[in-house]
Structure 1
Amino acid sequence: MPDQALIELIDFLEKTNADILRLEKEGEAVLQAGGQREFQIKLEEKAKILSALGEKAWKYTERIKGPLGTEISTRLEQFSTSASAALRIGSVFFMTALLYPEDHKPGEPNDLETYIRELRRQN
């Protein structure tokens, strides 16, 4: 039987990832038009969403029992911690790199998408 809390968490993470992808796309568009400051604003929005990820997901993760719930909470907090650090230092480069491994290629999933796929396999 599928875990309803996990299904709801996956749905929340997919919506969050869609918001992040939208912000990245909008940011790229304004950057191409010469809007460096607007680009930074979009990246800051992305980082703010990620920095709150662990807290906002808490209502789902607290309902997932056992080691899986703990592992999910830890992983989401890692996303949040990185984003908080990027905001704290104000690094546009760091904000751009959030969710992307060093060897990422265009068209490949970001780290959140990869994690969502892992969670789907758990269900």
Structure 2
Amino acid sequence: MAYVCQFGVNSFPSEPMMKNLVSARRSLGLYQHHDGITGTAKDFVVVDCGKKLLKAIMDLKRMIVECAYLLMVSDRKSYSYQELMSVFNIDEYRMSHDSMPEKIVLRLSNQPQCLS
């Protein structure tokens, strides 16, 4: 956030990113609740917790990508946030809270590509 203020980047989504960060912290707190740790939670509670954690993970990955992109742009004033488009992907992808993670395969070519 210091870079956003220092360089006057008006298009950085500070408020939504902060809301996602707070939500992720709450989801982690819920996950660390006694029933989750001991394994005594009911099935519907486990599913709900899994969904909240997956959403938190995906939101935080999006935040990491946006912050990294802002830091990599040579002219920070030219930075623009595209809600539905990601500049790059990190790590892995999960379809649902109970699915196995899928690695992201990079296809190399001489032509530039946009990730969606």
Q: Given the two structures, how large is their TM-score scaled by the length of structure 1?
A: 0.39
Rg larger in structure:
2
Question: Which structure's relative contact order is higher, taking Cα pairs within 8 Å and 6+ residues apart?
Answer: 1
Structure 2 length-normalised TM: 0.40
